[in-house]
C-alpha cells in the first residue's frame, strides 16, 4: 500500500535576509545569490520541513505497516536558470524551530517609515524568532556532538546530524525538478529513538562530502527551484510517502482470467461512492469476462467469481487535475486475492476532502519494467472523500 502524509510545518530560510521569516509562504525555495566576484558574498536558501509521524509509528507497532520505504515528495511551482546537473541533500534537523507566520512579500512599516519583514519564527539566524524567544542556531563551538551547520556568508542556516544513516540525496541530470527522495535512513533514526524528529533540512549538494563540489559555496548560481508549500491553495502540498507490500494472493478455487487473451470487465463490488476521510477501506473487485462462452448452467455467468493475474495493480488519480495521487508500483500497489475475489486496502485520510478521485487498474505479464503484455482498465471508477 502507499500512504502519504502532508507536512505539519515548512519554511524557507534565506541567508541574504538573516532574520526574515517565511512561515506561511505558498512556496518553498532553493536559491543562490552570487556576487559578481564569484565566491565572495554568496547567499543561499534552505528548506525546513517536518512531518507528524505518530500515526505511522502506531501503525508499525500494530503490525499494519511492515518493512516500509519512505519518500520525501515536493512538487515544483517554478524553476528558472537551472544547471543541467545539480543535486539536493536532506538531513535530520538537530534543534527545535518555530514555523512563524511571515511571507517574503509581506512588509511592515516602522515609525521611521522604513519597511521590514516579519521576524518572529524561524529564519537563517534564529530558530524561533528574533525578539520573543531570540534563540539563534548554534554555530562553531556551540554545536552539539555529531551535529554540524555550515554557511557561506552569514552565520546560522540551521543545524543537523551527520554520520552514517543521517543523510539522503537526489541528483538531477536533465530531469524534471520534482523531488522524490528516498529517506529511509533518516526516518528510521527517528523511529528507533536515535534522534528526536525535528524534521528535514533540504539544501544543495556537496556540503558534507570532502572532495565533491559544494554547490552552496562555489561560484555557480545553479538557478532557482520553487516548490509548493503546505500553505499552498493547490493539491500539491509536500508529502512524506510511506510504501509497503500488504498484498496476499490465495485464490482457492477461483478462476484466473487472462486479460491479454480474454476481454475482461472490472466492477467495484462495494463502492460506496463517497468515503469518510477517517475511514480505512478494503475495496473489493468483481472481475468477469465481457463475452462469456454460452453454456447451459443453473446460474448467471455474472455471478461467477474470477480474479485478475497476480501481477495486477491499482492506481488513484484526481478527477479534475488528472494528477496521479497513488502511482502504479511493483510491490506497493499489488492487487490482492482471496476466496472472495480481488481486493486492496486504502486509507482515506491521505486524500483531500470534498474532491473526487478515480481508480485505474493494470495487469501485466513478464517483467514489471519491460512487460510482455500490459492491459489498463480505466472506466471512470470514481469515488469521493468527505469530511
In a domain, 337, yes or no: yes
Q: Mean pLDDT check: name the lowest of 125-129, 219-223, 352-356.
A: 219-223
Same domain, 87 and 227: yes
Residue 308 C-alpha cell reads as 485478475
Q: Has residue 250 been placed in a domain?
A: no
Give the count of domains, the chain.
2
Residue 53 included in any domain = yes
Domain co-membership, 188 together with 272: no
Lowest mean pLDDT among 111-115, 174-178, 215-219, 253-257: 111-115
Average pLDDT over residues 60-87: 93
For the chain, the average pLDDT equals 89
The 10 Å CB-count burial string (b at 16+, else e) for 134-157 is ebbbbbeeeeeeebbbbbbbbebb
Evaluate whether residue 248 is within a structural domain: no
Q: Are residues 263 and 218 in the same domain?
A: no
Last residue of a domain, one of 212, 243, 274: 243
* 186 and 325 part of one domain: no
In a domain, 249, yes or no: no
- Same domain? 74 vs 146: yes
Burial string for 84-104 (b: 16+ CB within 10 Å, else e) reads eebbbbbbbbbbebbbbebbb
**Cβ burial 306-328 (10 Å sphere, 16+ → b, else e):** bbbbebbbbbbbbeeeeeebbeb
Check whether residue 202 and residue 110 sit in a common domain.
yes
Distance, in Å, from the CA atom of 119 to the CA atom of 358, rounded to the nearest integer, reads 44
Verify that 195 and 278 share a domain, yes or no: no
What is the CATH number for 333? 2.60.40
CA 75 to CA 21: how far, in whole Å? Answer: 22
Is residue 190 pLDDT above 50, yes or no?
A: yes
pLDDT in tens, 144-184: 888 888 888 888 999 999 988 999 999 988 778 999 999 99
> Does 170 lie in the same domain as 119?
yes
Domain co-membership, 314 together with 337: yes
Choose one of 223, 243, 263: the last residue of a domain: 243
345 in a domain, yes or no? Answer: yes
Do 167 and 259 lie in a common domain?
no
Per mean pLDDT, which of 83-92, 263-272, 326-335 is the most reliable? Answer: 326-335
Residue 145 lies in a domain: yes
User: 11-52 pLDDT, tens per residue?
Assistant: 999 998 889 999 999 999 999 888 766 556 789 999 999 999
State pLDDT tens for residues 280-329. 999 999 998 886 666 555 555 555 789 999 999 999 999 988 999 999 99
Q: 42-51, 70-79, 251-260, 370-379: lowest mean pLDDT where? A: 251-260
358 in the same domain as 222: no
CA distance 27 to 226: 6
pLDDT the model gives residue 283: 95
pLDDT at 206: 79
Burial of 293 (0-12, 13-18, 19+ CB in 10 A): exposed
- The verdict on 119 and 260 lying in the same domain is no
pTM of the full structure: 0.91
Q: Which domain holds residue 360?
A: 255-386
Q: Which of 243, 270, 290 is the last residue before a domain boundary?
A: 243
186-195, 285-294, 344-353: which has the minimum mean pLDDT?
285-294
Say if 59 falls within a structural domain.
Answer: yes
Residue 191's H or E segment, with its range, is helix 184-191
Per-residue confidence band for 211, with pLDDT thresholds at 50, 70 and 90? very low
At 174 the pLDDT is: 78
State residue 176's pLDDT score: 85
Residue 121 CA, chain-centre distance (Å), reads 24
Q: What is the pLDDT of residues 222-265, one digit of tens each?
A: 889 999 999 999 889 999 999 999 999 998 889 899 999 988 99
Amino acid at each position: 500500500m502507499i500512504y502519504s502524509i502532508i507536512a505539519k510545518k515548512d519554511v524557507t530560510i534565506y541567508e541574504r535576509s538573516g532574520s526574515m521569516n517565511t512561515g506561511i509562504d505558498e512556496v518553498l525555495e532553493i536559491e543562490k545569490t552570487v556576487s559578481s566576484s564569484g565566491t565572495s558574498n554568496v547567499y543561499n536558501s534552505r528548506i525546513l520541513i517536518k512531518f507528524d509521524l505518530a500515526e505511522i509509528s502506531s501503525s508499525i507497532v500494530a503490525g499494519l505497516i511492515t518493512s516500509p520505504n519512505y519518500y520525501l515528495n515536493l512538487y515544483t511551482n517554478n524553476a528558472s536558470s537551472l544547471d543541467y546537473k545539480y543535486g539536493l541533500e536532506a538531513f535530520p534537523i538537530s534543534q527545535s524551530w518555530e514555523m512563524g507566520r511571515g511571507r517574503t512579500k509581506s512588509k511592515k512599516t516602522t515609525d521611521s517609515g522604513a519597511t521590514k519583514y516579519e521576524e518572529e519564527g524561524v529564519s537563517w539566524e534564529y530558530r524561533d524568532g528574533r525578539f520573543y524567544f531570540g534563540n539563534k542556531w548554534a554555530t562553531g563551538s556551540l554545536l552539539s556532538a555529531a551535529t554540524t551547520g555550515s554557511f557561506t556568508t552569514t552565520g546560522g542556516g540551521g543545524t543537523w546530524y551527520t554520520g552514517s544513516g543521517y543523510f539522503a540525496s537526489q541528483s538531477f541530470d536533465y530531469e524534471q525538478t520534482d523531488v522524490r527522495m528516498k529517506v529511509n535512513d533518516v526516518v528510521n533514526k527517528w523511529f528507533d529513538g536515535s534522534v528526536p524528529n525535528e524534521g528535514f533540512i533540504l539544501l544543495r549538494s556537496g556540503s558534507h562530502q570532502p572532495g565533491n563540489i559544494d554547490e552552496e559555496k562555489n561560484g555557480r548560481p545553479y538557478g532557482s527551484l520553487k516548490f509548493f508549500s503546505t500553505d499552498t491553495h493547490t493539491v500539491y502540498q509536500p508529502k512524506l510517502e510511506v510504501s509497503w507490500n500488504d498484498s496476499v494472493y490465495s485464490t482457492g478455487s477461483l478462476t484466473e482470467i487472462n486479460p491479454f487473451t480474454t476481454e475482461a470487465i472490472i466492477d467495484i463490488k462495494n463502492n460506496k461512492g463517497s468515503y469518510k476521510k477517517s475511514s480505512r477501506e478494503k475495496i473489493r473487485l468483481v472481475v468477469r469476462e465481457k463475452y462469456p462462452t454460452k453454456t447451459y448452467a443453473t446460474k448467471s455467468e455474472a455471478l461467477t467469481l474470477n480474479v485478475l493475474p497476480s501481477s495486477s495493480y491499482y492506481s488513484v488519480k484526481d478527477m479534475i487535475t488528472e494528477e496521479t495521487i497513488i502511482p502504479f508500483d511493483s510491490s506497493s500497489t499489488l492487487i490482492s486475492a482471496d476466496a472472495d475475489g480481488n481486493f486492496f486496502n486504502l486509507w482515506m485520510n491521505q486524500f483531500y476532502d470534498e474532491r473526487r478521485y478515480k481508480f485505474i487498474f493494470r495487469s501485466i505479464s513478464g517483467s514489471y519494467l519491460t512487460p510482455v503484455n500490459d492491459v489498463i482498465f480505466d472506466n471512470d471508477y470514481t469515488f469521493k472523500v468527505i469530511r
